[in-house]
Amino acid sequence: MAFTHTPFPKQNSADSVRRYGANNPTRPYQVVKRYIEDGFENYHHLLSLSTTVEKVEKLGQEWVLTLRKPDAKYEGEEQDYWWQEKFDAVVVATGHYTVPYIPAIWGIDKAVKALPHKFEHSKSFRSPNDYVGKVSSNFHRHLEHC
């Protein structure tokens, strides 16, 4: 994960290096955040946060996007703000990293085989509601015996 004009920082947390080794690809949240913010610094004027693309249509040789910013402040009041913009091209990006990284942790393969429904990579996370009422104490007792 790096911009072509700026290499990704090698900086890592002491805990990550201790747990996964010196060359592991993980990075602390603050390092990733700073890297993205610094790399985008000269382009903030092109950014529109909290904006949804409501419609994409090709009209002739150009693409027309209908955009909406919910609860935008306009003349002191919050209201949905709608507008359209025209572009030469549209890119639909659903995610670059489709294969989750799973570090080499002693015993994880046995634990996953023994309790396949107890493990989930963060890439698969969809809702905290999936975990309501679940208790992890049985998992920890089983893991001690693996």
Of 26, 41, 48, nearest in space to 100 by CA: 26
As a dihedral over the C-alpha atoms of residue 99, residue 105, residue 109, residue 115, rounded to 10 degrees, the angle is: -90
Integer Cα distance of 2 and 12 in angstroms:
15
The pairing of strands 52-59 and 77-87 is: unpaired
Closest to 41 (Cα-Cα) out of 11, 10, 5? 5
Q: What is the pLDDT of residue 135?
A: 66
Q: What is the per-residue pLDDT for 117?
A: 78
Per-residue confidence (pLDDT) for residue 145, from 0 to 100: 52
pLDDT at 60: 96
Count CB-CB contacts under 10 A for residue 31: 16
pLDDT along the chain (146 residues), means of 10: 83 87 85 88 85 94 94 81 94 71 82 83 75 62 52
pLDDT value for 134: 72
**DSSP states of 4-60 as a string?**
TTBPPP----HHHHHHH-TT-----HHHHHHHHHHHHGGGGGG---S-EEEEEEEET
Domain ranges of the chain: 1-47, 48-92, 108-144
CA distances from 94 to 3, 24, 91, 97, 98 (A): 18, 25, 10, 9, 9
Q: For position 65, what pLDDT does the model report?
A: 96
